[in-house]
Amino acid sequence: MSRRRELLHQCKKLGEAREIVSSMKSLAFMESRRLDNFLDIQRQVVKTMETAAADFLHFHPQPLTGADGSGTPAQHLFLLLGSERGFCGNFNESLVGVLDDVFAKQVENQEGIGVIACGQKLYGRLEGHPHLIAGIDGAAVLDEVTGTLNRLVDTLNDLQRGENTLTLTVLYHDPDRESVVVRDLLPPFQKLPAHNTGLNGSPQLNLPPAQFLIALVDQYLFATLHEILYVSLMAENLQRMQHLEGAVRYLDQNLDSLQRRGNQLRQEEITEEIEVILLSATSVEPPKPG
């Protein structure tokens, strides 16, 4: 009896764990549905700004070597968008792996290089990295994206002191590509749409071209980082759903195994009880005839 009670206790604990994991998977699903609408809107914003930048640069070519459109880059920053929470498989490990590949294949002079880790889980994974210069809290849900973006912009402003300029490369997961994307944001506007550029004539500006470009780059960087944060959070939730689905299947298999074992033990107990009853019946002597 004690063995079966122990199995029942294990089944209860596994059942509770399954309910928790299933709830986490449902939350990740709902979060991905919420992100889907916001991401479409933000992509349209970025696309519109890129079209405007293409028209502007067609008529007002400007040097684009840094965050402000001038100067020589003094520091190359790599921003990695990882996870704030766990239960998302190798989400952070794959980012670190791609970063190592970039350093090994593309970065010859590693002086002046800095790594910014966004997300507590990623920051813990990168702690001790020779190029890690900052770590910021990431967004666990959609409502926290704005706060993460503000912290990120503040960090970039702190790193861009005086006349120093930055180049910025972002590494993040893209669920559409099913891989880690390496995207250069600064210098800006490296890949702009060429169709219909200049067909409507020169844009009417209320600012000098150089001043307009500085303002446009600031807004574009803010909007693009917003889009990338949405994309990364979407990828994180989709990977979390996949990871938790595997955990649910694993728990279900264990529950089925324990339940089968429990049924087997119960059948053995019933058999033992029947045997005891039969032995007791045969041990009783029949009454002698009077």
Question: What are the sequence ranges of the domains in the chain?
Answer: 30-190+205-241
Q: Say whether domain 30-190+205-241 belongs to CATH 3.40.190.10.
A: no
Strand-by-strand arrangement of the 113-118 sheet: 132-136, 113-118, 73-81, 165-174, 179-186
Determine the Cα–Cα distance for residues 137 and 102; give it in Å rounded to an integer. Answer: 24
Going through 137-178 in order, the beta strands assigned E by DSSP cover 165-174
Q: Are strands 165-174 and 179-186 parallel, antiparallel or unpaired?
A: antiparallel
Q: What is the pLDDT of residue 107?
A: 62
Q: What is the pLDDT of residue 230?
A: 96
pLDDT less than 70: residues of the chain: 1, 64-74, 106-110, 161-164, 193-200, 281, 283-290
Whether the CB-CB separation of 180 and 79 falls below 8 Å is answered with no
Tokens found for residue 239: 């990977």
Q: What is the pLDDT of residue 108?
A: 63
Peptide bond preceding 73 in cis form (omega within 30 of 0): no
Q: What is the pLDDT of residue 285?
A: 57
Q: What is the pLDDT of residue 150?
A: 93
- Cβ neighbors of 289 (< 8 A, separation 6 or more) are none
> Helix 209-283 and helix 91-105: axis angle, to 10°?
140
- Cβ neighbors of 219 (< 8 A, separation 6 or more) are 49
b/e map of 155-191 (b: 16 or more CB within 10 Å)?
bbeebbeeeebbbbbbbbbebeeeebbebebbbbbee
Residues paired with 114 in a beta bridge: 77
Whether the CB-CB separation of 119 and 83 falls below 8 Å is answered with yes
DSSP state of 187: S
Determine the Cα–Cα distance for residues 225 and 142; give it in Å rounded to an integer. Answer: 14
